[in-house]
Amino acid sequence: MSVIETESTQLLAAVRQILAAKSLVSDQEIAERIAITDAATPGQGARMVAKAWLDPAYRALLLEDGTKAAEAAGVMMRGMPPLGVLENTEAVHNLVVCTLCSCYPRAVLGYPPFWFKSAGYRARAVRDPRGVIAEWGTVLPETTKIRVVDSTADYRWMVLPMRPAGTEGWDEERLAAVVREGDMIGVTVPTIG
Amino acid sequence: MTQPLPAGTVVRVKLDWPELRGPVHIRTPHYLRGRRGTVVRYLGEFPNPEDIAFNRPPDLLPLYHVSFEPHTLWPSGVSGDEVLVEIYGSWLQLEGA
C-alpha cells in the first residue's frame, strides 16, 4: 500500500511515533502546538488593530515589527513565520492573497477562511483586485491606489485597516469588535452600525 | 556576505522554468517570471524553500519585497496600482546594469 492510500489517522500516528523516536518532536510539543493553533482567532488580530488605533507607539511597533507587536499583545509567536503588517491609508489600500497556496498569518488570524484558499480568489485577487473587493461591497475612492500583496514565501502579512469614522472615544474592546478577518485581509473595511 | 540590494533597485525576475527540468518546489509565481520590478525592502535571510522541500541542506538566501506594476503583468492591470511580492535573491537579476 502506498502512503497516499494509507488511512490518515494511522499514518499520523506512525509519523508522530517516528518523530518521537528520533527525538525530533515530543508529544507534549505537538499538544502545545495544537492548543496554540486552536486558540488563534481573528479576535487576536482585531485586538492588535484596536490597540494600534488607540496607541501611536503600539501602531509604530506593529508596522515596524509585527512579530514583536503580536508578542506584546500576548500572542505566542515562537516557531511561527515572521509577521509583517501593512497599513491602509487614504492613499493606499492593501489586499493580501497567496497565489501559490494559502500562506496566512495564522498566529494572529487563525485558520484561513475557505475562500482565501480557493482557486478563484487566488487567481482573481492579483489580476482584478478592484473587481474582487467590489463583490464584497468594498468600493475605494478613485484616488486610492490598491496594492495586492502576494504572500508566497517566508513572511505572513496582515492589513492594518483605517479606523472608521464615528468611533471617537471608543475603548479597545469596543473597537476590536468592529474588526473582522476580511478587514485584516483587505477584502473589506471596518464599518459600524 | 554581500550587502543586500537597497530599496529602489530595479530588478528583473529570471525568465526561468525549472519545473520543465524536473521535480521542484518554487515560491516564485509564474506570472512574474521575466518581469521587471523594484526592490521595496530587504526582509532578511531565509533558508531556500526549494532545498528544504527536498531535504537538501538549504542555502541561506536574501528575501526581498519587490513591487511590480500591474499593467506590465496583465492586459487589464491598472496603471498606478501595485503588486507586491516576496522574491528570493536567487531569482532576481539587476536590470539595466
How do residues A146-158 score in pLDDT, each as one tens digit? 999 999 989 999 9
The mean predicted confidence, pLDDT, of chain A is 94
The helix-helix angle for A8-21 and A27-39 (nearest 10°) equals 120
B19 near A CB under 8 A: no
Higher per-residue pLDDT: B1 or B68: B68
Q: For chain B, what percent of residues have pLDDT higher than 90?
A: 92
Which of A92, A99, A155 comes nearest B43 by C-beta? A155
Distance CA A83, CA A68 (A): 9
The pLDDT value recorded for residue A105 is 93
Coil, strand or helix: which one is A17?
Answer: helix
pLDDT score for A78: 84
Per-residue pLDDT, averaged over A104-125, amounts to 94
A2 as an active site residue: the answer is no
Domain chopping of chain B, boundaries:
10-94
Nearest to A148 among B80, B83, B87 (CB): B83
Q: Which of A2, A8, A26, A103 is catalytic?
A: A103
pLDDT of residue A3: 75
Give the C-alpha distances (Å, rounded to integers) separating B86 from A31, A54, A128, A136, A144: 32, 30, 20, 26, 23
Q: What is the mean pLDDT of residues B67-95?
A: 95
ipTM: 0.94
Q: What is the pLDDT of residue B41?
A: 96
In whole angstroms, how far apart are CA A126 and each of A92, A102, A121, B70?
16, 14, 9, 9
| Residue B63 near chain A (CB below 8 Å) | yes
State whether A152 and B83 contact (CB < 8 Å): no
Closest alpha carbon to B49 in B94, B91, B95, B6: B91
Q: From the candidates A2, A23, A26, A102, which is the catalytic residue?
A: A102
* A151 is known as an active-site residue: no
pLDDT tens digits, one per residue of B46-67: 999 999 999 999 999 999 999 9
Whole-model pTM? Answer: 0.91
Q: Is A26 tagged catalytic?
A: no
| A25-79 residue pLDDT tens | 988 888 888 888 888 899 999 999 999 999 999 999 999 999 999 999 999 888 8
User: What is the tens place of the pLDDT at every residue in A1-32?
Assistant: 677 788 888 988 999 999 999 999 988 888 88
Nearest CB among B70, B81, B85 relative to A152 is that of B85
Report in angstroms the alpha-carbon separations of B3 from A82, B86, B89. 21, 18, 12
Chain A residues whose C-beta is within 8 A of a chain B C-beta are 82, 84, 92, 99-100, 126-130, 145-155
Note the pLDDT tens digit of each residue in B1-39: 579 999 999 999 999 999 999 999 999 999 999 999 999
Q: Does position B97 have pLDDT exceeding 70, yes or no?
A: no
Is domain B10-94 given the CATH code 3.40.50.2020 in the classification?
Answer: no
Q: Cβ contact (<8 Å) for A153 and B84? A: no
Angle, CA of A50, A72 and A76, to the nearest 5°: 105
pLDDT at A88: 98
